[in-house]
């Protein structure tokens, strides 16, 4: 007999922080739903970005009252945080509410104060914690939770990190919708999209990055799932395009090569996206295998063109090494997207704007550039504290200075963007995506048809931003 008959796993975001966030499945809450599905009578998974009926709080509240006896909510991002707190506070207080996720772990005290109907907050990774909760283990015996008791907040010990090979991969049959490529709210192709995680943690020690730390400061050492499990999961994925969301897919080249072999042997026909570092170019035989296995798009962390800054953030390579690596990358039929950071400590405007020129020199197909952010437990917090004139308003927020205010950094961002993304570059992007098979002919046609509407919407957003308006939904 189950303690809970019907659990709702809720992803509460109903607007996107960027133009493409909507294409990503809510993997965190999917792991939680899968972990508890055999321990409750029924699990319903709701992604409010795509469930317009339930974006109405009255409809959501009525559904919870009628159907649900356990509500699990994932709060991951800072954007929309206050809106989500408002939503939670309006949900029925007679039903147990369990909240977890990265942002929830950071904001335990605030959430309990703001949302008096929250019963339990799961801190850190929650797959094992939710199992114990739904089994009815007494709160005092569950590591990794905070809860209310006699008017006080009790914080139990942190839960040790779990072996990734004991965590079941997401059950995609729980989904109610199919994820497509969208941009600015427009479906630009019929291609479906999914993600898979084959490792957790990262062995590198870049100063700007805290991906290997959870919000409790626990370091997730690099650990690999068995390849048999990865292939088993890939066989359950129907999507056309799959992102390997590992911090660096090629950390262990021998393992990566074996996985490419298994993808080919098992006739798994997908278009794969991976995150990687430039060191992969030292393995040409692996790049050849990846190309044969269907790897199309490489997301490469470059961060800066400048040796001084690369050294400052302990990236582990130089500008010359980057240039050498891209001479190798450009021999293959890969679409290469580069990540950069601007607004680094001591970086001048000319150095920031040079990102666009450098990216073109490397023949990058596209780029993303973000302001340097100061995260909790980041080694950069100590460095910033020693340098006068630099500020950040909150942990996880962007760094700025007396010389380069947030408003000034926005203008620099626009200079970088419009220096790189001209009509010629957009034409090259379309041509490259079609050439390497990232877009097939039907996808390509739909993409071209969507371009006028997409461009119009992008222009309209930029105009509205300049006028001070905010879009609530795409």
The whole-number mean pLDDT for each consecutive block of 10 residues of the chain, a chain of 474 residues, reads: 95 67 83 97 95 94 97 91 95 96 92 97 95 97 96 93 89 93 64 91 61 57 90 96 92 96 97 95 96 96 96 93 97 95 95 98 95 80 87 85 96 95 88 85 58 46 39 28
- How confident is the model at residue 438, as a pLDDT? 84
- How confident is the model at residue 393, as a pLDDT? 85
In a domain, 274, yes or no: yes
Other beta carbons less than 10 A from residue 443's beta carbon = 20
In a domain, 280, yes or no: yes
Helix (H, G, I), strand (E, B) or coil at 121: strand
- CB under 8 Å, gap of 24 or more: what pairs does 390-397 form? 390/345, 395/106, 396/78, 396/106, 397/373
Burial grade of 231 (CB within 10 A; 0-12, 13-18, 19 or more): middle
- How confident is the model at residue 209, as a pLDDT? 57
Strands 145-149 and 186-196, sheet pairing: unpaired
| Number of structural domains in the chain | 2
Question: 56: domain CATH number?
Answer: 3.40.50
Query: Does 153 lie in the same domain as 189?
Result: no
Could you give the CA distance from residue 350 to residue 397 in angstroms, rounded to a whole number? 23
Query: Does 202 lie in the same domain as 109?
Result: no
In a domain, 465, yes or no: no
Query: Does 298 lie in the same domain as 355?
Result: yes
Query: Does 183 lie in the same domain as 330?
Result: yes
Phi, psi of 281 (to 5 degrees): -70, -10
In a domain, 470, yes or no: no
Query: Does 434 lie in the same domain as 304?
Result: yes
Query: Does 263 lie in the same domain as 232?
Result: yes
Question: 402: domain CATH number?
Answer: 3.20.20.70
Range of the domain at 133: 7-164
Query: Does 429 lie in the same domain as 325?
Result: yes
Of 370, 366, 357, the closest CA to residue 431 belongs to: 366
Handedness of CA 35, 38, 39, 44 (dihedral sign): positive
Could you give the CA distance from residue 440 to residue 279 in angstroms, rounded to a whole number? 30
Half-sphere exposure in the Cβ direction for 232 (13 Å, CA): 10
Any idea what DSSP says for residue 279?
G
Of 329, 224, 337, 231, the closest CA to residue 283 belongs to: 329
Half-sphere exposure in the Cβ direction for 313 (13 Å, CA): 27
- Tokens representing 424 are 């010629």
- How confident is the model at residue 385, as a pLDDT? 84
Query: Does 383 lie in the same domain as 332?
Result: yes
Query: Does 158 lie in the same domain as 98?
Result: yes
CB 201 within 8 A of CB 247: yes
In a domain, 125, yes or no: yes
- How confident is the model at residue 45, as a pLDDT? 98
Query: Does 400 lie in the same domain as 341?
Result: yes
Query: Does 251 lie in the same domain as 153?
Result: no
In a domain, 173, yes or no: no
Query: Does 195 lie in the same domain as 97?
Result: no
In a domain, 448, yes or no: no
CB 337 within 8 A of CB 364: yes
Question: Of 133, 164, 195, which one is at a domain's C-terminal end?
Answer: 164
Q: How far is CA 439 from the centre of its chain?
A: 23
Of 112, 70, 63, 74, the closest CA to residue 94 belongs to: 70
- How confident is the model at residue 447, as a pLDDT? 58
Could you give the CA distance from residue 51 to residue 176 in angstroms, rounded to a whole number? 9
In a domain, 169, yes or no: no
Could you give the CA distance from residue 372 to residue 375 in angstroms, rounded to a whole number? 10
């Amino acid at each position: 007999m189950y303690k809970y008959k019907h659990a709702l796993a809720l992803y509460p975001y109903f607007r996107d922080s960027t133009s493409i966030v909507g294409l990503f499945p809510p993997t965190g809450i999917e792991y939680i739903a899968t972990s508890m599905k055999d321990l409750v009578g029924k699990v319903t998974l709701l992604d409010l970005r795509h469930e317009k009926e339930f974006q109405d709080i009255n409809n959501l509240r009525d559904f919870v009252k009628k159907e649900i006896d356990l509500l699990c909510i994932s709060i991951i991002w800072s954007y929309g945080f206050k809106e989500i707190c408002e939503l939670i506070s309006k949900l029925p207080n007679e039903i147990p509410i369990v909240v977890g996720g990265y942002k929830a772990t950071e904001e335990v005290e605030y959430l309990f104060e703001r949302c008096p109907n929250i019963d339990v907050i799961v801190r850190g990774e929650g797959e094992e914690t939710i199992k114990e909760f739904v089994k009815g283990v007494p709160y005092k015996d569950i590591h990794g939770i905070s809860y209310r008791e006699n008017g006080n907040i009790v914080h139990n010990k942190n839960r040790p990190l779990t072996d990734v090979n004991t965590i079941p991969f997401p059950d995609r049959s729980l989904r109610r919708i199919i994820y497509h490529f969208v941009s600015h709210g427009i479906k630009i192709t019929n291609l479906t999209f999914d993600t898979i995680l084959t490792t957790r943690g990262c062995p590198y020690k870049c100063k700007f990055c805290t991906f290997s730390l959870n919000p409790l400061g626990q370091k997730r050492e690099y650990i690999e799932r068995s390849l048999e499990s990865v292939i088993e999961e890939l066989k359950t994925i129907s999507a056309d395009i799959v992102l390997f969301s590992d911090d660096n897919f090629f950390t262990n080249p021998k393992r990566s090569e074996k996985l490419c072999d298994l993808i080919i042997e098992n006739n798994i026909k997908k278009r794969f996206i991976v995150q990687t570092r430039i060191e992969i170019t030292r393995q040409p035989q692996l790049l050849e295998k990846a190309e044969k296995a269907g790897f199309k798009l490489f997301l490469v962390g470059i961060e800066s063109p400048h040796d001084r800054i690369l050294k400052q953030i302990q990236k582990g390579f130089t500008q010359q090494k980057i240039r050498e690596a891209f001479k190798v990358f450009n021999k293959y039929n890969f679409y290469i997207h580069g990540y950069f950071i601007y607004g680094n400590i001591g970086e001048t405007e000319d150095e920031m704007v040079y990102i666009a020129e450098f990216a073109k020199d490397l023949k990058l197909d596209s780029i993303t550039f973000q302001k340097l952010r100061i995260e909790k437990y980041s080694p950069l917090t100590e460095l910033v504290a020693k340098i006068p004139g630099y500020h950040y308003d909150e942990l996880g927020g962007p760094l700025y200075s007396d010389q380069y205010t947030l408003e000034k950094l926005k203008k620099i961002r626009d200079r970088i963007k419009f220096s790189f993304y001209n009509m010629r570059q957009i034409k090259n992007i379309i041509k490259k995506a079609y050439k390497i098979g990232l877009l097939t002919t039907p996808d390509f046609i739909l993409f071209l048809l969507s371009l006028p509407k997409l461009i119009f919407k992008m222009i309209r957003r930029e105009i509205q931003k300049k006028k001070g308006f905010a879009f609530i939904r795409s």
